[in-house]
Structure 1
């Protein structure tokens, strides 16, 4: 695009939203059009930058002529963002998770008319890791595979969405589904490992931002593929790159891995 990409950030008052605001206003590829919050948010109408009174949090009534929406809100916020994108033709980049089957179907239908990019993890490093794991799992179909992930002690779900996405990529590379291959617990005397399964192990503690490791284990050798996040801003930076990449794309469902394709 020859002009700056006109960008709206949905969920702008949250931790990820504020990180995105800081990145977008310093990135010459973008014109930040709207910092979107819930119509019932206490932030509505307040300054988004503190010392810049011209920039205020708004709802979708204050968003016009947008090229791309980045959404890190919640289920209700995603619904509103999707309404706006479908009505205006804007592209949607979303990291909102925990979607219902109904919302999953709606996103799939929307992708027939607008470009939609979804990711559980916007780290570009994790995207490369997932690609490497997919290739390794396909090349070594008889090797055992376990995925180990670690996060801070406040994280409530386990395994992480990223670990599950890695497992799905590996299972798909082997012509199967994760539902058929996953083993989430081992305790007592579970017996010998069943061939082809994908095991998961979870660590929770301290302030770990996020660590993921895939272990492919053969006879007499092992491959270890891993990624360690030390700064949460990597997720915002990945989402910004995704927004720049998807602007002007054809309708369809895209992933963060598409962003790193040469």
Structure 2
């Protein structure tokens, strides 16, 4: 599988290039940067610190359309929509780690998956996806007797809140308990809000420093607490998951998948 990385000059983009170059079964086919970037023409491998790869940075997907089979997209919701349309039009597969999509953008993503293979996950870490699976069991076992809070911490540059991973953690727990997260979620608390309701799922967000990503789901009742925590110390954990997903998509022509499918956790 020939992989293209868009947003190649960013922190995540450079890590993705490094992960592709280190992985077996995939090759770096293209690296795309902003069309006005001064880096256009530079070697993608040298930019990522993995040595010359013979892949020059380009300023658009159109310029790379003959050089890749699957696109890795960790960009912004608006740009991801454009990239989805490009992949559908040119029969390319796509792995999406973009977070912060609204309902309309998510619906567009699902529609595109009827025409090409789409792997979409708010967090591609293997460890986080194991946590998703574990949380189903924990939530079903503990039931409604436990208060549930989702606490997440990320670096100061993250623009969406709560994180996509935090929301997915909440969705997993809500689904296991037969709740609708849109109805029971409480985002932050301030002032005289009264006592906690039995079935709400709370979210607390911290933005500070260079934290890659910490997530905890807290189950608490009188006399005990259970905490499921995942801490990421490097973006490489997300990059390796995304590259693994690229290889997994090799046998898929259409459909919407996530990391639970890639890891056979269904």
Gaps of 5+ in 2: none
Alignment-derived partner of residue 130 in structure 2: 128
Matched residue count:
258
- 1:6 Cα deviation from its structure 2 partner: 1.7
TM-score, length of structure 1 as denominator length: 0.88
Q: Is the contact between residue 81 and residue 108 of structure 2 (CA under 8 Å) also seen in structure 1?
A: no
Structure 1 ranges of 4+ moved more than 6 A: none
Structure 1's 153 and 27: CA in aligned 2 closer, same or farther, altered over 3 A?
Answer: closer
- RMSD (CA atoms): 2.2
Shift of 1:197: 1.0
- Residue 5 of structure 2 aligns to a residue whose secondary structure is strand
CA distances 1:137-179 after superposition (whole Å, capped 9, x unpaired): 1222212211112223444443222111111111122222111
TM-score, scaled to structure 2: 0.87
Q: How many angstroms apart in 2 are the aligned matches of 1:128 and 1:67? A: 28
- The structure-2 alpha-carbon separation of the partners of 1:100 and 1:179, relative to structure 1 and needing over 3 Å to count, comes to closer
Q: Deviations over 1:36-58 (max 9, x none)?
A: 22333332222223363832012
2:11 corresponds to 1:10: no
Q: Aligned runs of 1:1-262 on 2, under 5 Å?
A: 5-50=1-46, 52=52, 54-58=54-58, 59-60=60-61, 61-64=63-66, 66-75=68-77, 77-142=79-144, 143-261=146-264
Q: Which runs of 5+ in 1 are unaligned?
A: none
Structure 2 vs 1, CA of residues 53 and 185 (structure 1 numbering), >3 Å: closer, same or farther?
A: closer
Tell me the distance in 2 between the aligned counterparts of 1:193 and 1:77: 39
